Amino acid sequence: MYLENYFSFVATRSSKMLHQSQQQRMLQRMSPQQIQFLKLLRVPTLEMETRIKEEMEINPALEYSTDDATNDIYDDDAEDKYEEGAEDVALKDDQAEQIDIDDYLRSESDDGGYDNNYNKDADKSNYSAQRYEVSFHQYLLEQLHMLDLTERQILIAEQVIGSINDDGYLSRSVAAMVDDLAFSRNVITDEGEVKGIIQRIQSFDPAGIATYTLQECLLLQLHRIGKSNYAVQNAILILEKQYDAFIKKHYEKIKKSLKLDEDDFQHALDIILKLNPKPGAAFEGSSNTATYILPDFFLENNEGVLEIMLNSKNAPELRISQDFKNMLEIYDKGNKKDKKNAEAVTFIKQKLDAAQWFINSIKERQNTLIQTMSVIANLQKEYLITGDETTLKPMILKDVAELTNLDISTVSRVANSKYVQTQFGTFSLKHFFSEKITMENGEEVTNKEIKSIIADIVSNENKKKPLRDEDIMDTLAKKSYNISRRTVAKYREQMQIPVARLRKS
């Protein structure tokens, strides 16, 4: 009886837990073409040519459009190439059927074509911002191989150099590097040996690298200068004995504690302030390609009319390879249409489709860029003509998205990764976006205008008695800008303006 009740209970629960039902849901899925377009939209202008070459390497059906007449002449060797390539293609039996060739034999102009009208006048963009340079870590490795080290020591040193970030500081603890060497390089070592290698690397240029703290970094640079200078001796003393007071700018406390007069302290302070807090970042070779800015647009003011030109690197003239078209012509004219021929033509179709998708994605990228930039230029026309930042109108992503009929995420991708060259300089498109703040009289201004006023207030303050955030807030209120102290602090931090105590001199 007990077992019957138990199994009845289990069956009842199972029937409640396991059941089938039908649900109708709408899901938004992106096609491969949409994904390809979004990826291309994020590619910087400087890397666009490289991205196109990569696509050409994997797809021989894609090529640059040229005026070479030989591209339009029938290739007598096309049949041989076609026969050779057919052997490497696999096709299922149910795919070996007649394929409509006409869609692939039409020229690009038959279906609207791929016509590049954006870069006709953008000749000024035909320069390259790339240059060859040695990276920061390569520079350190070159110095490493000038030392007389054993193979084991070189492996340890390479691990240490790999743990140095772009600013020049060590990002891994000594204990972690010991473990890394054991697991990744099969080198069994201890902290003492690794510390010895670190000391050797600290003698490399630029001075101050391979340290963990700013204090250690600055002291290394001072020791490199030499202790023979009396001012350097005082500087070392300040950083060794009164570092906390120094970073808090408690200068009177330092002078009293170290018994330094005003001149000696000032000379030592001048030396410390000339040291480099980020020795790695100061090395030119540490910069990456992203450091260089190549404008995506050129905007010119032609007597009050803004003219937008797309950088020619964003608008390459691409087309479908004539060789692949010739292969399809041969197939279409041939009498034998067996499985082998169908396999070859299916392979050709795949490459032609991929090439056309890529060309269409490039076209859509161009249209999106021009469309977005045109709306931004129209909304910020007064600023782009005068260069006066106070004329910058409040504008958010939603405003541009509504006028372009694009998704906000698409506008965001354009704004965050693209640049425009104007008569007043080169700006990121996100520079033109700002939140609105309503003044007492109801007028709307941008947060950029508020930041500009805060910068002016700070630059004109009495440095012996700098203004606190509350004081800046009161000054803004007198100018009819009613914002909170917290907002003042946020804008000040965004502009990298230190607090009042650290601005005191």
The per-residue pLDDT string of the chain (505 residues; one tens digit each, 9 = 90 and over) reads: 544 554 455 455 544 455 566 666 655 566 777 777 777 887 777 788 888 888 888 888 888 876 443 333 334 443 443 344 333 333 333 443 444 555 555 544 444 343 444 444 444 444 434 343 557 888 888 888 788 888 888 889 989 998 998 888 999 899 989 988 888 888 898 999 999 999 999 988 888 899 999 999 999 989 888 777 888 888 999 898 888 888 888 888 888 888 888 888 888 888 888 888 888 876 654 444 445 678 889 999 888 889 998 887 776 788 888 877 777 677 666 555 566 777 777 777 888 888 888 888 888 888 999 999 999 999 999 989 988 877 888 888 888 999 999 888 888 888 877 889 988 888 888 888 887 777 766 677 777 778 888 888 888 888 888 888 888 888 888 888 888 888 888 888 888 888 888 787 7
> Which of 64, 37, 39 is closest to 358 using CA atoms?
37
**Structure-token pair, residue 292:** 């260089």
Burial string for 127-158 (b: 16+ CB within 10 Å, else e) reads eeeeeeeeebbebbbeebeeeeeeeebebbbb
Instruction: Tell whether domain 436-503 is in CATH 3.20.20.190.
Output: no
- Considering only CA atoms, give the Rg of the chain: 33
Contact indicator for 446, 434 with CB cutoff of 8 Å: yes
Angstrom distances, CA of residue 484 to CA of 363, 461, 475: 47, 20, 12
Say what the pLDDT of residue 69 is.
Answer: 34
**CA–CA dist 328, 82 (Å, integer):** 9
Cα dist from 190 to 176, 197, 291, whole Å = 11, 11, 38
Domain boundaries, the chain: 32-108+315-356, 136-284, 436-503
Sign of the dihedral defined by the CA atoms of residues 394, 398, 402, 405, in that order: positive
Per-residue pLDDT at 119: 46
| φ and ψ of 339, to 5 deg | -60, -40
With a threshold of 0.95, does the pTM exceed it?
no
Show the tokens assigned to 420. Answer: 């425009």
Can you tell me the distance from the alpha carbon of 149 to that of 155, in angstroms, rounded to the nearest whole number? 10
| Segment (H or E) for 386 | helix 381-386
The pLDDT of residue 95 is 40
Q: What is the pLDDT of residue 212?
A: 92
For position 137, what pLDDT does the model report? 82
* Structure confidence at residue 19 (pLDDT): 59
The pLDDT assigned to 288 comes to 45
